[in-house]
Structure 1
Amino acid sequence: MLLLAGYSCKQKSVSPNGIESNAYDRHVELSWNPVELADKYEIYVRKEDGDYSKRAEVTDTLYLDFVNDLGKNLGLQYKIEAVLGEESRMIGEVAVETRTMTEEELLDMVQYYTFRYFWEGAEPNSGMARERIHVDGVYPQDDQNIVTAGGTGFGLFALLAGLEREWISPDEGLARFEKIVDFLANADRFHGIWSHWINGETGKVKPFGQDDDGADLVESAFLMQGLLAVREYYKQGNEREKALADKIDVLWKEMQWDWHTQGGQEVLYWHWSPNFGWQKDFAIRGYDECLITYVLAASSPTHAVSEQVYHQGWARGGAIQNESEAFGYSLPLLHNGSPDYGGPLFWAHYSYLGLNPKGLKDRYADYWEHNRNHSLINRQWCMENEAGFKGYGSDLWGLTASYSTIGYSAHRPGNDIGVISPTAALSSIPYTPKESMEVLKNLYYNYGEKTFGRYGFYDALSPEEDWYPKRYLAIDQGPIVAMIENYRSGLGWKLFMQAPEIQEGLKKLGFSISE
């Protein structure tokens, strides 16, 4: 265990009446215990010796007050009242002070808030990450208990960061990991592979589509990437911690990667269903978000695929190499469907929460250079802004898959409708630290309450359409926490890359590793 030191966002103050408060640079967070039969709560604020004025009415027991309109470095006093019919009942008062924050403190704040998606927002029975959370409490298709394999894998890195930054205690963290691993051991699996969506109450598959009701190899790869990092974190621990690591090892060894070659073809296939077999027939070929799938498949101690599956399948017999250049940045790998400017930015994130791209090279690319250039091309596209979308610029860029004004969409250069996804720039922070911080500051300081809530920045926004939905997706929140942590300490990279099977698998595929 590494135990990172530094500023902690969890240092809330608690008033004698039970109101918890934490003041940041431009907002104050207040939370309190619910009052039985309360219809709503009224929040009042005053500055120093001024009079109270009504600030908000809410039905929740957590309130984020963005105080840009009141000034900076403020001394404020809040009063909270519960409204029960025609009567009001005082809950209490609390004093706070906002303060100018350093970049490190801002990163810590964003990382902590986003971590809460996977800690406080998790599905209670399984401990896994909910597929989505809508702040208004409305879950589409009654899926509040539907958890996601890939999003949970990303969330495991978030939980590890939370442990190291002492946002949760060692006992709390271990108990959560045990709950998740025990749930996964009993959930539906197909040749050791999980489905994309799982019912968090029953462990049964929730079909992702009409003929997608079985194994999802890519989502399971994202999940195992996180699980192996957890195994490495605990494998030298006490008896209980070693037992958890051993359980993960069993799940890892039961994954039949070779099954997904359809009997020995030189490519991996994404889906298999007990009802539809190989009907989807989706061969995984690069380049997109799936590199980690091939790395894990080659690294398996029990059901590995050959290096030829990687070179002929993923790398298309060498045709994955690309000579494209955009805005002066080369793109060494041929992106599926977007060879000139690159695909959505999650392609630079999902496989690299544990797989360290620093110094990672094979015969096809230098992966650090590739991912950095991919991020910079995406940024420059937004800065050029040929469509003239409102808000775009050096401090608002980032196209990736997210919620959209037209439904869920994989935004990228060439498929740009004026929607920015915060996860795109924030998760690219290891590659573009200064450029990503510009976006973080802009979103927090200038957009504030429109873009930032209980679990960090909301999934997407469009100043062009004045569209600011208060929605979250696990697969977008997870990379934010994980990649900020990799930028700050390299935690996820250190843990995953130290796994001996991964080291051997990378050598087998012809990768060299040097930082």
Structure 2
Amino acid sequence: MLKSIYFLPLLLILSCNSADTKPSTGTSPENPSAQPLTDEQLMDVVEKQTFKYFWDFAEPNSGLGRERYHPDGNYPDNDANIVTTGGSGFGLLSIIAADSRGYITRAQFMERMAKIATFLENADRFHGAWPHWMNGETGKVKPFGTKDNGGDLVETAFLCEGIICVREYLKNGTNEEKALAQRFDTLWKGVDWDWYRNGQDVLYWHWSPDYAWEMNFPLQGYNECLITYVLAAASPTHTITAAPYHEGWARSGGIVSGNTKYGIPLILKHNGAEEFGGPLFWAHYSYAGLDPHQLTDQYANYWDLNVNQVKIDHQYCVENPRGFAGYGNNYWGLTASYSRNADGTTGYDAHMPSNDKGVISPTAAVSSIVYTPTESLAAMRNFYENHSSLLWGPAGFYDAHSQQYNWSTKRYLAIDQGPMAVMLENHRSGLLWQLFMNAPEVKQGLVKLGFHSGKYNF
């Protein structure tokens, strides 16, 4: 996961030249048929195929989501068994959705959830927080960087979104389901959120047993990290007061923005991206479980905040000030993903209007379907019907595409596939939002921080 736009560790500058592709010829079993689909059929096809990332292509020992999946089998540093904590949280949500839709059986669901619980119970933890990466075969930390070899509170928060929803999904079921729900409940309650304040009124992203707090990355808004404060306040075992949220995250009110773009208010100051807003994953990760409908506090209406960010991104792509090929109403979406530069080099980048490389990330538009259904469906249909040879594969849409360079990376990242499956389900049924928002501790945490929800009556 991209650690905000200020922090791009060298480990994420992935060497992926071998993934550069030319347009394919002919068809393959994974390519969509020429038969037009209704909107509902299209959403179902995309959700079901994307879910395969966390099912068919999961890391086999842990059952969790791989950091990345390369269908060609070419992995840098032989890291095919590295699992991602945050991406696996989105994976848990996508597996719940798959069970609810009958993509898998309940027996298969229970077997996979039991495997995941066992792995997480025995994996490395640091004051309750899991690391960013783990070896899926051993459960040991895989350093994300030299000093990033301990607990990662933000990745842990994304995982806990999924853990809480699994508990809620199973807690009123059979005796076997109730017992498994209790195991997931114990997992999330083991996170010592208060430790990660380091004695101050702000949460810190990292702690290392070797380097302590040397990463020195306070969570201050606005970016993708809101859910971390919500869960820290919600914890019944290691909670925080409201002060770190207001003084740390909200910068004592400094988080509020008066800026507008295309006549659309930004509402909050996006860190390092105050003109257009940040990469679109900021509107997705925290809101996989946190329902922004009618959700407000003294700083923002969170539905308006996210809709506005997506609309600004869409409008930028429609106007296309840099003249990149293909950009328009049905080809848009800038967020962090694999990337390509004009000189042909490839890597990973946080795409956004202020950092536009001519690369469109399907997860940006597809995961925004809850906010801009018309515009997102237009992009999704265009990706699926007109660009399948470069964009569609065994786990859904590939991670990044550029008409400008006639290029695609035929690879996948958990943190991009997960939000697509999750937000498609939230758009179609609201299931994952309902599970998370109706968890008693989540409501209590939101109330503690001063949130109000017209939809959930608090």
Q: Give the TM-score taking structure 2 as reference length.
A: 0.92
Give matches, 1:288-327, under 5 Å.
288-327=223-262
Cα distance change, pair 66–248 in 1 and its aligned pair in 2 (3 A): closer
Q: Does 1:470 align with 2:399?
A: no
> Equivalent residue for 2:30?
64
Runs of 4+ in structure 1 over 6 Å off: none
- Alpha-carbon separation, structure 1, partners of 2:162 and 2:225: 15
Q: Could you tell me whether the CA contact under 8 Å between 1:423 and 1:476 is conserved in 2?
A: yes
Q: Could you tell me whether the CA contact under 8 Å between 1:197 and 1:207 is conserved in 2?
A: yes
Q: Does 1:140 align with 2:76?
A: yes
> Equivalent residue for 1:39?
none
**Deviation at 1:445?**
1.0
- Alpha-carbon separation, structure 2, partners of 1:105 and 1:349: 23
Q: Does 1:409 align with 2:375?
A: no
Q: Could you tell me whether the CA contact under 8 Å between 1:423 and 1:459 is conserved in 2?
A: yes
> Equivalent residue for 1:460?
400
**Deviation at 1:101?**
1.7
Letter in 2 for 1:63: P
The aligned length equals: 426
Q: Secondary structure at the match of 1:404?
A: strand
> Equivalent residue for 2:11?
none
Cα distance change, pair 402–55 in 1 and its aligned pair in 2 (3 A): closer
- Alpha-carbon separation, structure 2, partners of 1:193 and 1:199: 15
- Alpha-carbon separation, structure 1, partners of 2:31 and 2:210: 51
Give matches, 1:60-99, under 5 Å.
63-65=29-31, 72=34, 99=35
Letter in 2 for 1:422: P
Which segment is superposed worse, 135-144 or 146-155? 135-144
Q: Could you tell me whether the CA contact under 8 Å between 1:270 and 1:283 is conserved in 2?
A: yes
**Deviation at 1:358?**
0.3
Q: Does 1:119 align with 2:55?
A: yes
> Equivalent residue for 1:159?
95
Q: Decide which of 241, 244, 261 is 2:180's aligned counterpart.
A: 244
> Equivalent residue for 2:358?
418
- Alpha-carbon separation, structure 2, partners of 1:141 and 1:379: 37
- Alpha-carbon separation, structure 1, partners of 2:418 and 2:278: 19
- Alpha-carbon separation, structure 1, partners of 2:382 and 2:443: 40
Residues 33-79 of structure 1, C-alpha deviation per residue, up to 9 Å, x if partnerless? xxxxxxxxxxxxxxxxxxxxx967xxxxx833556xxxx5xxxxxxx
**Deviation at 1:448?**
1.2
Q: Secondary structure at the match of 2:450?
A: coil
> Equivalent residue for 1:216?
152
Give matches, 1:174-253, under 5 Å.
174-253=110-189
Q: Could you tell me whether the CA contact under 8 Å between 2:150 and 2:207 is conserved in 1?
A: yes
Letter in 1 for 2:321: E
- Alpha-carbon separation, structure 2, partners of 1:172 and 1:251: 21
Q: Could you tell me whether the CA contact under 8 Å between 2:32 and 2:384 is conserved in 1?
A: no
Cα distance change, pair 65–335 in 1 and its aligned pair in 2 (3 A): closer
Q: Does 1:431 align with 2:367?
A: no
**Deviation at 1:476?**
0.1
Letter in 2 for 1:160: I
Q: Decide which of 307, 324, 328 is 2:263's aligned counterpart.
A: 328
Which structure 2 residue ranges, 5 or more long, are not aligned?
A: 1-24, 341-345
Q: Does 1:256 align with 2:220?
A: no
Q: Secondary structure at the match of 2:407?
A: coil
> Equivalent residue for 1:272?
207
Residues 179-214 of structure 1, C-alpha deviation per residue, up to 9 Å, x if partnerless? 111100100001110000000000000000011000
Which segment is superposed worse, 485-494 or 238-247? 238-247
Letter in 1 for 2:29: Y
Q: Secondary structure at the match of 1:343?
A: coil
Give matches, 1:35-74, under 5 Å.
63-65=29-31, 72=34
Residues 409-442 of structure 1, C-alpha deviation per residue, up to 9 Å, x if partnerless? 0011110010100000000000000000010011
Q: Could you tell me whether the CA contact under 8 Å between 2:31 and 2:393 is conserved in 1?
A: no
Letter in 2 for 1:132: R
Letter in 1 for 2:79: D
- Alpha-carbon separation, structure 2, partners of 1:309 and 1:238: 40
Q: Could you tell me whether the CA contact under 8 Å between 2:85 and 2:156 is conserved in 1?
A: yes
Q: Secondary structure at the match of 2:257?
A: strand
- Alpha-carbon separation, structure 2, partners of 1:290 and 1:66: 36
Q: Secondary structure at the match of 1:323?
A: coil
Which structure 1 residue ranges, 5 or more long, are not aligned?
A: 1-53, 57-61, 73-98
> Equivalent residue for 1:496?
436
> Equivalent residue for 1:367?
302
> Equivalent residue for 2:42?
106
Letter in 1 for 2:444: E
- Alpha-carbon separation, structure 2, partners of 1:242 and 1:134: 36
Cα distance change, pair 379–181 in 1 and its aligned pair in 2 (3 A): same
Residues 257-305 of structure 1, C-alpha deviation per residue, up to 9 Å, x if partnerless? 0000102x00000000001100001000000000000000000001111
- Alpha-carbon separation, structure 1, partners of 2:292 and 2:402: 31
Give matches, 1:348-387, under 5 Å.
348-387=283-322
- Alpha-carbon separation, structure 1, partners of 2:112 and 2:73: 24
Residues 116-175 of structure 1, C-alpha deviation per residue, up to 9 Å, x if partnerless? 000101001000000001121111111110000000000111101100110000010011
Q: Could you tell me whether the CA contact under 8 Å between 1:66 and 1:449 is conserved in 2?
A: no
Residues 210-253 of structure 1, C-alpha deviation per residue, up to 9 Å, x if partnerless? 11000000000000011000000001111111111111111122
Larger Rg: 1
Q: Secondary structure at the match of 2:347?
A: coil
Q: Percent identity?
A: 56
Q: Does 1:447 align with 2:387?
A: yes
Q: Does 1:285 align with 2:220?
A: yes
Cα distance change, pair 373–55 in 1 and its aligned pair in 2 (3 A): closer
> Equivalent residue for 1:345?
280
Q: Give the TM-score taking structure 1 as reference length.
A: 0.82
Q: Could you tell me whether the CA contact under 8 Å between 1:147 and 1:200 is conserved in 2?
A: yes
Letter in 2 for 1:461: H
Q: Could you tell me whether the CA contact under 8 Å between 2:31 and 2:392 is conserved in 1?
A: no
> Equivalent residue for 1:131?
67
Higher relative contact order, chain-length normalized (CA < 8 Å, sep 6+): 2
Q: Could you tell me whether the CA contact under 8 Å between 1:344 and 1:400 is conserved in 2?
A: yes
More strand by share: 1
Letter in 1 for 2:222: Y
Letter in 2 for 1:367: Y
- Alpha-carbon separation, structure 2, partners of 1:66 and 1:501: 43
> Equivalent residue for 1:7?
none
